[in-house]
Structure 1
Amino acid sequence: MSATKITNMTMPLTIFWFRRDLRFSDNAGLYHALRAGLPVLPVFVFDTYILDELHDKSDARVSFIYKALARLQAELRSFGSSLLVKRGKPEEVFETLMQAYEVKHIFTNRDYEPYALKRDEKIAHMARRQGIGFHAFKDQVIFDGEEVHKDDGSCYTVFTPYYRKWMASLSPFYLQAYPNERYAKQLLQWEATLPALNDIGFRETTLALPPYAIPAKTVREYEKNRDFPFLEQGTSRLGVHLRFGTISIRRLASYAQQHSAVYLKELVWREFYQMILQCFAQVGENRSFKEEYDAIAWRNKESEFACWKAGKTGFPLVDAGMRELAETGFMHNRVRMITASFLTKNLLIDWRWGEGWFAEKLLDYDFASNNGGWQWAAGCGCDAAPYFRIFNPLAQAKKFDPDEIYIRKWVARVRHFGISRTHSGPQGIARALPCGL
């Protein structure tokens, strides 16, 4: 895949492994790799364990990654270096690299998802067996899971006290950017070309991908506008950039600290769910945070689930959200809560079914946040007010889309009906569903 191979195969070097951190600037692990003293070979692996699970060969997430890699490649070339891109099983790729080059260290940033932890442990074991150091650093969060904890050392399970402790723990030190450009001369000087997206086995998506810049006006006005899905600039849509690390969390949190306390609080929600994932094993195994809730006997009607996925429930705001998701890979956060509540509380369908559908469709899919949000909606998660919270989709539409701008954008023909006693409860809701039940 390289235009010019690395000619000195016996030269000691460090590998920096890019994953959820697809940027050169303010990259913690890359900074430490550059400071380690040896030439740094940047590497990215298209992991076939993950790719093989993706049925849509135009998956927008792969296109997003590919465009981020092209952007990163341009940055590296400005310093006389290049990115080595491989496709395959990570352990096989690294076995080949460790045989081909005199690798002394592998640097990377931590990933807390269940598969990633097992993958990294496997690579670390392989490396250490050959006398190669494996070093992972905190980068995708301000605070690692156990850095913000109760006074007795245990992990928080409720957001509000966690948020207070998180804010009390924050200092300028945690928001400082890593000055990677200062050490760019440590990059291995060589030239390579990226493989074509077709070589990876995928096609470019037709979906619009969100821009990189922090939308300053949106963040400043976030508190006022965030709940209204009809506003095109009501939310920042930076979730995918945080997911793949194309924007530094330190940079974004620093900006939010200066301009919007409410936006910063949303970033803390993200860190809360990351902490929950790290501290409570059952969450990583896709079990309920409150394990006794795994005994719930869900109705799980396949036909009703199909209505929900297709955006054909007859409830306009629910349908609008599901159609927006299918067409764009995005759904407004308030609408995510409404559609999740409808699936779990009205249709009584297991939250894991909905969580899995969002995982397949969301461009900004993140295991911790998706799992945490769905468990919050279903009432089985880490929340002080669980099962009795139910969103009324008609009342929510009246409050947050009063002129039906959002609804009519996604649902061409709106069916208006009130929820009477006839439609109350899951059986009544099911009778109201219009897609062939």
Structure 2
Amino acid sequence: MSSALVWFRRDLRLADNPALQAALDAGHDVIPVYIHAPSEEGEWAPGAASNAWLHRSLAALDSDLRARGSHLVMRQGGSLAMLQSLLAETGAAAVFWNRRYEPAIQSRDTLLKRTLRGQGIQADSCNGSLLFEPWQLATQQGQPYKVFTPFWRNALTRWKVQPARDAPPGLSAPRVEGARLDTLGLAPKVRWDAGFWQHWQPGEAGAREALEVFIDGALAGYRQQRDLMDRVGTSLLSPHLHFGEIAPWRIVHALEAGRSAAADADIDAYLRELGWREFAHHLLHHFPATAGENLNPRFDRFAWATPSAASLQAWQRGRTGVPIVDAGLRELWHTGYMHNRVRMIVASYLCKHMRVHWREGARWFWDTLVDADLANNTMGWQWVAGTGADAAPYFRVFNPVTQSEKFDPQARYISRWVPELEALPLKARFAPWQHPHLLAEHAPDYPRVPLVDLAAGRDAALAAYRRTGAG
């Protein structure tokens, strides 16, 4: 029987895996392959938190394969060279993979496919991660969208979700071995990630469980509660989606199965969030330079401040003196994750109050988030900074005090991640610098004043934006 390599990348699952299914449908014995080649990611090689998750996700995938009589063949080195070596070792006639959309990876994959086909090897790629590929939706003028609402309206008119498919019950055993997982250097030598795994279970089983927990719990009331920080009001599926441990269409099918008059608004609200994920990939594909450059060139003239190393580190480590900002950054440091509403507040404080370039924040999130996705990360930071597609108006500056009072009204989120403030009266926990005697008595080690005064920072930011012509 003929064999084919199935090259796993950000599709670390056996169910709903179009590349795997295509190889099986073609009648091939499957040789599952993972190639570790971070240098091919360009300037966006995975960060430390992503690598820590990847280590565990690969272990879970290998375990799932072994339960079906197979195993994951892991190699390290140039992708083309490793694939060619494996083709020679195994006599495989084809290579199948699921597409990725990051600019450096798209360029590599195009060259790789052309080279393999030129050598007489069948090389086919599939859509394993999106409901709509970036080139499938365009304006009436044939241009890419830059605004979400018409993008999503068009998507809904063409809504046809592919069916969910279960994992194959058994697979043939590859007659080739690979590197041991621990030789890839993904797991940190110093276990700074230990706190992550109290919150997360990487792998396909963990993704399925997270979906079930969401449907049974936070989905009811999702539309109203997704912004509340003091509870689990979201799906927590973003890292599983990023690593391809679950397909977006499986999520859609699971949600649609629970449709009812009572659930419609919450389901539609969640599907809209999946739509933002689609929009982010649409933008990155059509505007690949935006991972490091403003989509709106008008903001190239913006007068960003040059932060000191000390002030930037204070922001990174949650020592700004603004409790909701510090809480979010400490949550990130300890769990590899940050609540979405808090991400916007944290980003606004950096870009607008501190007037630090959004690239600094994007880089920090890239290294510390377990769901660090280039498309989502880029779109989110440019949205807050006002420099990107569908961006927040330049004059929108999140007030972290009013935001925390509205979305964390009992300061539970703040108290959890900034526990030194828990002894303060509730009102004082939102803006402790306004209560200096209480702060000195109960939290003497917490910053006495914010890194940047909220009113002064806002005024300086608005003045700088107006000088660009934004106003």
TM-score (norm: length of structure 2): 0.80
Aligned partners of 1:148 and 1:169 also within 8 Å:
no
Question: Corresponding residue for 1:353?
Answer: 360
Offset at residue 81 of structure 1 (A): 2.3
State the alpha-carbon separation in 1 of the partners of residues 73 and 4 from structure 2: 13
Question: Corresponding residue for 2:165?
Answer: 178
Offset at residue 117 of structure 1 (A): 1.1
Gaps of 5+ in 2: 422-430, 435-448, 462-471
2:348 is aligned with 1:341: yes
Aligned partners of 1:144 and 1:275 also within 8 Å:
yes
Offset at residue 261 of structure 1 (A): 1.1
2:298 is aligned with 1:297: no
2:122 is aligned with 1:106: no
State the alpha-carbon separation in 1 of the partners of residues 408 and 325 from structure 2: 12
Which of residues 426, 433, 440 is equivalent to 1:417?
433
Deviations 1:123-174 (A, max 9, x none): 2233123111221111101001121222232211101111111112113xx2
2:13 is aligned with 1:23: yes
TM-score (norm: length of structure 1): 0.86
Which of residues 347, 359, 372 is equivalent to 1:365?
372
Distance 1:88 1:308, change over 3 A: same
Offset at residue 274 of structure 1 (A): 0.6
User: Over aligned residues, Cα RMSD in angstroms?
Assistant: 2.8
2:195 is aligned with 1:189: no
> Which residue type is aligned with residue 324 of structure 1?
E
Aligned partners of 2:304 and 2:356 also within 8 Å:
yes
Offset at residue 48 of structure 1 (A): 4.1
Which consecutive aligned stretches of 4+ in structure 1 deviate over 6 angstroms post-superposition? 50-57, 191-194, 419-422, 427-430
Distance 1:377 1:167, change over 3 A: same
State the alpha-carbon separation in 1 of the partners of residues 12 and 162 from structure 2: 19
Deviations 1:335-360 (A, max 9, x none): 00000011111111000110010001
Aligned partners of 1:177 and 1:250 also within 8 Å:
yes
Aligned length, in residue pairs: 412
Offset at residue 197 of structure 1 (A): 4.0
Aligned partners of 2:74 and 2:178 also within 8 Å:
yes
State the alpha-carbon separation in 2 of the partners of residues 107 and 196 from structure 1: 23
Which of residues 10, 29, 32 is equivalent to 1:42?
32
State the alpha-carbon separation in 1 of the partners of residues 140 and 18 from structure 2: 28
Aligned partners of 1:175 and 1:253 also within 8 Å:
no
User: Secondary structure in 1 aligned to 2:92?
Assistant: strand
Aligned pairs for 1:70-149 (under 5 A) are 70-149=59-138
Which of residues 133, 149, 165 is equivalent to 2:154?
165
Distance 1:385 1:401, change over 3 A: closer
Question: Corresponding residue for 2:443?
Answer: none
Question: Corresponding residue for 1:434?
Answer: none
> Which residue type is aligned with residue 74 of structure 2?
V
Aligned pairs for 1:374-393 (under 5 A) are 374-383=381-390, 385-393=392-400
State the alpha-carbon separation in 1 of the partners of residues 358 and 155 from structure 2: 29
State the alpha-carbon separation in 2 of the partners of residues 56 and 131 from structure 1: 32
Distance 1:251 1:71, change over 3 A: same
State the alpha-carbon separation in 1 of the partners of residues 43 and 293 from structure 2: 21
Deviates most, 72-81 or 152-161: 72-81
Offset at residue 405 of structure 1 (A): 0.7
Question: Corresponding residue for 1:32?
Answer: 22
Distance 1:428 1:156, change over 3 A: closer
Distance 1:18 1:316, change over 3 A: same
Aligned partners of 2:55 and 2:187 also within 8 Å:
no
State the alpha-carbon separation in 2 of the partners of residues 73 and 393 from structure 1: 44
Aligned pairs for 1:265-344 (under 5 A) are 265-284=272-291, 286-302=292-308, 303-344=310-351
Distance 1:346 1:423, change over 3 A: closer
